[in-house]
Amino acid sequence: MATENSFLNNALRGVGSRACSKQNLALTVNGNSTVAGTISIPDGSWYDACSIETPTAISGTPTSCLVRVGVTLHGQEIVADVDAKSQGHIAATIVAAFDKVAGLVGKNTLYIEVTTSGGTSSAGTINILSRYDAPVL
């Protein structure tokens, strides 16, 4: 039996429609280390884009602050080692081998991490914004 939400979604958007969703994960860099976190997404989502925002350059002159996004712990299946130590916005390139439509089937967690190396006393925040189209139920 159809729920009220699924009935309204089908009436307004059409059967099988999707809603664009976004989630941000803020990772705080502190010294030469790896910091990580996860975001949960609905099964069957289609991955659309990854933006990396560094509001203020990471202090301590690190050699690199590499951001990676994957479907496994320490994975780089979606975004592979993008240096985000400088202040600014990066529209990260999704790895060519990742199927943006079928790549998240059966997966509900994205693993995101930043590995900082070089320099001294590196500190700051890097925001990773993931955008995906989720099935509307």
pLDDT digits (tens, 9 = 90+) for 101-126: 999 988 899 999 999 999 888 999 99
Average pLDDT over residues 63-88: 96
Q: What are the structural domain ranges in the chain?
A: 20-135
Interior angle at CA 39, CA 36 and CA 45, nearest 5: 140
pLDDT category, 4, cuts 50, 70, 90?
Answer: low
Average pLDDT over residues 35-62: 94
Give the residues across from 91 on adjacent strands: 51
Tokens 């280390």 correspond to what residue?
33
* CA–CA separation, 82 and 45 (whole Å): 23
> Is the domain covering 20-135 a CATH 2.60.120.380 domain?
yes
Q: Which pLDDT score is estimated for 43?
A: 87
Q: Please tell me whether the overall predicted TM-score, pTM, comes out greater than 0.95 for this model.
A: no
Mean pLDDT score of the chain: 89
pLDDT category, 89, cuts 50, 70, 90?
Answer: very high
